[in-house]
Amino acid sequence: MDKLIGKTFVISGMSIKIIADDGERYETRNITTQETIFFKKLVLQNAIKLGKAEEILPLDDKE
Protein backbone atom coordinates (compact mmCIF):
# COMPACT_ATOMS: atom_id res chain seq x y z
CA MET A 1 0.00 0.00 0.00
CA ASP A 2 3.00 2.31 0.27
CA LYS A 3 3.29 2.74 -3.48
CA LEU A 4 -0.02 4.46 -4.15
CA ILE A 5 1.41 7.81 -5.27
CA GLY A 6 0.55 8.41 -8.91
CA LYS A 7 -2.30 5.89 -8.96
CA THR A 8 -5.90 6.84 -9.72
CA PHE A 9 -8.93 5.51 -7.83
CA VAL A 10 -12.70 5.85 -7.87
CA ILE A 11 -14.08 6.34 -4.36
CA SER A 12 -17.50 7.66 -3.37
CA GLY A 13 -18.23 8.61 -6.97
CA MET A 14 -15.04 10.68 -7.30
CA SER A 15 -12.05 9.95 -9.48
CA ILE A 16 -8.97 10.87 -7.47
CA LYS A 17 -5.26 10.72 -8.15
CA ILE A 18 -2.89 10.34 -5.23
CA ILE A 19 -0.27 13.06 -5.59
CA ALA A 20 1.62 13.05 -2.27
CA ASP A 21 2.20 11.28 1.02
CA ASP A 22 1.59 13.79 3.81
CA GLY A 23 2.50 11.77 6.90
CA GLU A 24 -0.76 10.36 8.29
CA ARG A 25 -2.73 11.14 5.13
CA TYR A 26 -2.58 11.16 1.34
CA GLU A 27 -2.91 14.35 -0.65
CA THR A 28 -5.15 13.62 -3.62
CA ARG A 29 -6.54 15.55 -6.57
CA ASN A 30 -10.15 15.21 -7.70
CA ILE A 31 -9.73 14.72 -11.45
CA THR A 32 -13.05 16.37 -12.35
CA THR A 33 -12.94 19.50 -10.16
CA GLN A 34 -9.15 19.73 -9.68
CA GLU A 35 -9.72 20.19 -5.92
CA THR A 36 -7.15 18.94 -3.44
CA ILE A 37 -8.56 16.42 -0.99
CA PHE A 38 -6.79 14.85 1.98
CA PHE A 39 -7.60 11.25 2.96
CA LYS A 40 -6.36 9.52 6.08
CA LYS A 41 -4.17 6.66 4.91
CA LEU A 42 -6.04 4.09 6.97
CA VAL A 43 -9.42 5.15 5.57
CA LEU A 44 -8.26 4.94 1.95
CA GLN A 45 -6.41 1.65 2.46
CA ASN A 46 -9.45 0.08 4.17
CA ALA A 47 -11.73 1.29 1.36
CA ILE A 48 -9.44 -0.37 -1.18
CA LYS A 49 -9.33 -3.64 0.80
CA LEU A 50 -13.12 -3.68 1.23
CA GLY A 51 -13.78 -2.95 -2.45
CA LYS A 52 -15.24 0.50 -1.76
CA ALA A 53 -12.44 2.12 -3.77
CA GLU A 54 -11.30 0.80 -7.13
CA GLU A 55 -8.07 1.53 -8.98
CA ILE A 56 -8.39 2.94 -12.49
CA LEU A 57 -5.71 1.39 -14.65
CA PRO A 58 -4.17 3.47 -17.44
CA LEU A 59 -5.10 2.52 -20.98
CA ASP A 60 -2.40 0.70 -22.90
CA ASP A 61 -1.71 2.68 -26.10
CA LYS A 62 -0.13 -0.35 -27.77
CA GLU A 63 -3.45 -2.13 -28.36
Q: What is the CATH number of the domain that holds 31?
A: 2.30.30
Q: What is the 3-state secondary structure (H, E, C) of the chain?
A: CCCCCCCEEEECCEEEEEEEEECCEEEEEECCCCCEEEEEHHHHHHHHHCCCEEEECCCCCCC
Total domains in the fold of the chain: 1
28: containing domain: 8-56
pTM of the predicted model over 0.75: yes
CA-to-CA distance for 47 and 13, rounded, in angstroms?
Answer: 13
Is 62 within a domain? no
Instruction: Return the amino acid letter for 2.
Output: D
Give the pLDDT of the chain (63 residues) as one tens digit per residue: 558 899 999 998 899 999 999 889 999 999 999 999 999 999 988 999 999 999 998 876 555
Residue 46 lies in a domain: yes
Is the residue at 14 inside a domain? yes
Dihedral of the CA atoms 43, 59, 30, 9 (nearest 10)? -10
